[in-house]
A and B are shown apart, each in its own frame.
Chain A
Amino acid sequence: MPIIEVDNLTKHFGKIVAVDHVSFSIEEGEIFGFLGPNGAGKTTTILMLITLLKPTSGRATVCGFDVTKQQAKVRSCIGYVSQDTAVDENLTGRENLLLQGRFYHLPKEVLEKRIEEVLEMVDLTDRANTLVSTYSGGMRKRLDIAEGLIHRPKVLFVDEPTLGLDIQTRHKIWEYIQRLREEAHMTIFLTTHYMDEADKLCDRIGIIDYGQIKVLGKPNDLKSQIGGDIITLKFTDETNSYADQAVEEIKRLSSIENIVPTKDSFSVVAKDGETTVPKIFEVASNVGATIESISLKRPTLDDVFMAHTGRELREEMGSKEDLMRERIRMRRVRM
């Protein structure tokens, strides 16, 4: 039986449809990710699954409990790590964990042991007794994740685990999340707008845009569905008049799957990209077109996103980082 089952889950905020008939299921022990831009409905979905938002329609079960009818049972079996990194700066790391453990009604002896355990897991043992206000962003996130683990939840919900963190810290956090699954056999549901994160970390992902799941599957399967490598080529301005003819010729090559014009270049999907590139040069010069630049890459989840939504995921990124910075500033002015 799947540990999370979601059936036509929908949430309206007034006239805005934040989540639109979303259905999926997650097996125990899976790392499942929602990949999508800001405002795609990722956080709204999480908030419904952790019982903090009432769905407008549809239903969902977590650990076999209905998220609207058996809220208390759902809450006891899940952990939640929000994108806000909601750790209390005026408490020490240990006090934060103590408080969190008490919120889950852990007996004193168990809690004491668990605190040591999770501190060790996220490498914070030596800083446990200092105030969180002295922690770096990465340390805060690690403490936040540790708090989500204190009651050994069956399912851990992690909203944007590495938002606003530097590259090394992000890799560390990914390691912790993977270790959790291996050592604690936890099911992990995460959301992210970083495609590399979804790619590295998740067994399966759902690409979500405007509240709808566009496609669901293993990252590698989704990438291979693109049908080959991605070649981006650009003709020189002088020979651009021959471009249409060149494209017609390129289309006839046997390894070409698809060719579409983008802003000022062409995006080609081809099987076996390495051997296709010289052929493209040959065909192009035959009709008199000169290639100014050409690049070859394996498909990424960004290409998958583009294939299913017609937009690039990267374009959407900026504002979320700004929001995070704003939050950090807010925290500093707080009394």
Chain B
Amino acid sequence: MSVLGDIWNVCWRELIRFRRQPARILMSIVQPIIWLALLGNMMQAITQMLPPGTKSYLDYMAPGIVVMTTIFGGVFGGLSIVWDRRLGFLNKMLAAPISRSAIPIGKTIASSLISSLQATLILCAAIVMGVNIATGPLGIVAVILIAMILCLMLSGISLALGAVIKTHETLMVVMNFLTMPLMFTSNALFPKELMPSWLQTIAEWNPITHTITPIRTITSRGWEWALILPDVAKIAALTLAVMGIAILLFRRSIS
């Protein structure tokens, strides 16, 4: 039981820290909303190329923007551990009788909770802009949950890297190098079917694609489980694997 308590304590600290930085909250939401407003209208003309049933490009890209926010949120998970190491807070936690694994787990859960808040706000903004969610309020909950799984995966990756790379500058660069390609080789903003075949192959292997596809099904088509469950299972399995590796690398970095 105390492991769960430790996880919660690590997580609680991150959540309070986040709440105390209103500028960070605001910026993390304003930016994606600007993307929605700009890109959503700019690309309106390609609506007819989109899969049948999609009413507008805005409808199409809203899930992509939600996931994009999640990606950026996840990247910060590992950064916080690098700072904690640098400022001595990590040693302070390690000197206490807390479960070693609670530190990476607590931090990833915190960043995924923070992402869920951001994703909710962006979805609300999208609805205000006229995006229609086919499955209603329950669909929103499902979208948020799927986004949270992805966030766990990405903050797991950044934590794993943070255990190996010990300066925040390097980690920032590496994570930035990862996020943009991940984003643009997926179907976040552009339909996979319209990509050249080599890019399609990459998109098919990209976990972001497997996050966006079920989300998009939920927002624009409805509860088509056959299109939702396999992808969700895939990213959940990958997330578990990533978390395992992150915990392992973290434990190795402190012993």
- A residues contacting B by CB (< 8 A) are 47, 50-52, 54, 72, 75-76, 78, 80, 82-86, 88, 90-91, 95, 99-100, 102-105, 131, 147, 327, 330-331, 334-335
User: Pick the contact of B95 from A51, A330, A334 — CB < 8 Å?
Assistant: A51
Number of residue pairs spanning A and B whose beta carbons lie under 8 angstroms apart: 71
Contact partner of A86 (CB less than 8 A), chosen from B12, B89, B255, is: B89
Q: Are A84 and B87 in contact (CB under 8 A)?
A: yes
Task: Tell whether, in the assembled complex, residue B94 and residue A52 are in contact, meaning their CB atoms are under 8 Å apart.
Answer: yes
Interface size on B, residues (CB 8 A): 26
Given contacts A90-B16, A90-B20, A335-B21, contact A105 B87 (CB under 8 A): no
B1-58 with Cβ < 8 A to chain A? 2, 5-6, 9, 12-13, 16-17, 20-21, 24
A103 near B98 (CB under 8 angstroms)? yes
Task: List 14 A-B residue pairs with CB atoms under 8 Å apart, sorted by A's residue number.
Answer: A52-B91, A54-B255, A80-B91, A82-B88, A82-B91, A84-B89, A84-B91, A85-B88, A88-B89, A95-B16, A99-B13, A103-B93, A103-B97, A104-B96
Q: Which of B9, B17, B95, B97 sits near A52, CB closer than 8 Å?
A: B95
Given the complex, which residues of B lie within 8 Å of A83, measured CB to CB?
A: 88
B83 at the interface (CB under 8 A from A): yes
| CB contact under 8 A between A80 and B17, given known A85-B88, A99-B9, A102-B9 | no
Cα separation A315 to B217 with both chains bound (whole Å): 70
Least CB distance, A212 to chain B, in whole angstroms: 25
- Indicate if the CB atoms of B97 and A330 lie closer than 8 Å: no
B252 at the interface (CB under 8 A from A): no
Find out whether the CB atom of B91 lies under 8 angstroms from the CB atom of A86.
Answer: yes
Cα distance, A327 to B24, chains bound together (Å) = 23
B5 contacts A105, CB within 8 Å?
Answer: yes
Contact partner of A80 (CB less than 8 A), chosen from B87, B95, B255, is B95
Scoring A54, A83, A330 by chain B CB atoms within 10 A of each residue's CB, the highest score goes to A330
Measured CB to CB, the closest approach of chain A to B86, in angstroms, equals 7
Alpha-carbon separation in the docked complex, A334 to B92 (Å): 18
User: In the complex, A75→B6 CA distance in Å?
Assistant: 15
Q: How far does the Cβ of A71 sit from chain B's closest Cβ, in whole Å?
A: 9
* Supplied contacts A91-B17, A99-B9, 5 more A-B pairs, CB within 8 Å: A75-B95, A80-B95, A95-B16, A100-B96, A103-B6
